[in-house]
Amino acid sequence: MDYQTLEGFRRKLLGRRISLLERRQRALAAEDALLAEREPDWEDAAAAQSAATVLDGVGEAERGALIRIQSALARIERGTYDECGRCHGAISEDRLRAVSDTELCERCAASMT
């Protein structure tokens, strides 16, 4: 893979990481605002708890995405970005364009499902 293409993937991953971190920060602020309400009635308390649970679930998904992005960036630095983590074969450029944080080639990903 040439330098320009690899640099494009790196910029895309960094942009996604920034976006996820900003969204996570907004979600944490919203959760804090929900939990900071004084003396909510039972309906407000139930709604706040439900919203906090949803936000926590979103946080878990975002944490997973951030871990995958960080791993992909580390593979770029090591020069193994387009190498499958399972079979060590090549990950196609088309697959990396579709799923830039993948660590599996198409064949290995298909066998995981």
Q: What is the pLDDT of residue 30?
A: 72
Q: How many residues does the chain have?
A: 113
Letter for the amino acid at 15? G
Q: What ranges do the domains of the chain cover?
A: 3-81
Q: What is the pLDDT of residue 41?
A: 61
For residues 19-43, average pLDDT: 71
For residues 30-51, average pLDDT: 63
Would you say residue 80 has pLDDT above 90? Answer: yes
Would you say residue 55 has pLDDT above 60? Answer: no
What angle in degrees, to the nearest 10, is found between the helix axes of 3-35 and 42-78? 160
Higher pLDDT residue, 101 or 113?
Answer: 101
Q: How confident is the model at residue 23 (pLDDT cuts 50, 70, 90)?
A: confident
Strand partners, 83: 90
